[in-house]
Amino acid sequence: MSSVPRKRVKPAARISVDRDGIVRAAAQVPSLNFDDRPEGTAITLLVVHGISLPPGEFGGPGIVELFTNRLDPDAHPYYAQVANLKVSSHFMIRRDGALLQFVPCGKRAWHAGVSSWRGRDHCNDFSVGVELEGIDPVPYEAAQYAMLARLTRALRRRYPISEVAGHSDVAPGRKTDPGPAFDWERFRRLIR
């Protein structure tokens, strides 16, 4: 019995976070929805989110438009509910693994809202937010896990990030993302 030879895949290039909190490997899409972190606050938490705009649809411009305050409330019935929100995230990972950066990591992106982790309120103060393009019940793509793992390793090399939580963990009862389809064990194996 012969086996089919496996194509050798070259490992992905290592990504890094510079002193300003910029990942040059990411497409830079500046958002105005950020401010300064409290002075002396260390970045110790990574918050994983899930988002799609319109809900349940992938690949469109809605998320970028939301985070850059350009979402047209008339473009989709759902947009009227969210078009005036001033929200952002540090990063977003598309379904194909493409990485976008909206806010430098040294700044406070507005991603977690009213939140608490291990007795500390205001998670935006001490966290980096990463949005995965997706919805709670739909499995995330292998390319998203791979990029999230690469990004997590890069962030840990730059900052003393000791924990990773879901948006649902820091805002229980208010948020459900990244949802039950996010495979935490798979992600943890990738970042070991």
pLDDT band at 14 (very low <50, low <70, confident <90, very high): confident
pLDDT band at 9 (very low <50, low <70, confident <90, very high): very low
DSSP for 153-181 reads HHHHHHS---EEEEHHHHSTTT--TT-TT
Ordered structural domains, the chain, with CATH: 27-190 (3.40.80.10)
State the average pLDDT over residues 85-108. Answer: 98
Known catalytic residue: 131? yes
Give the span between the Cα atoms of 95 and 113, in whole angstroms. Answer: 24
Give the span between the Cα atoms of 102 and 106, in whole angstroms. Answer: 12
> For position 12, what pLDDT does the model report?
55
Estimate to the nearest angstrom the gap between the alpha carbon of 66 and the chain centroid: 14
pTM listed for this prediction: 0.93
Q: Exactly one of 57, 65, 131, 163 is catalytic; which is it?
A: 131
Residue 2 has pLDDT above 60, yes or no: no
18: its two tokens: 């510079």
| 145, 102 contact by CB (below 8 A) | no
> For position 8, what pLDDT does the model report?
39
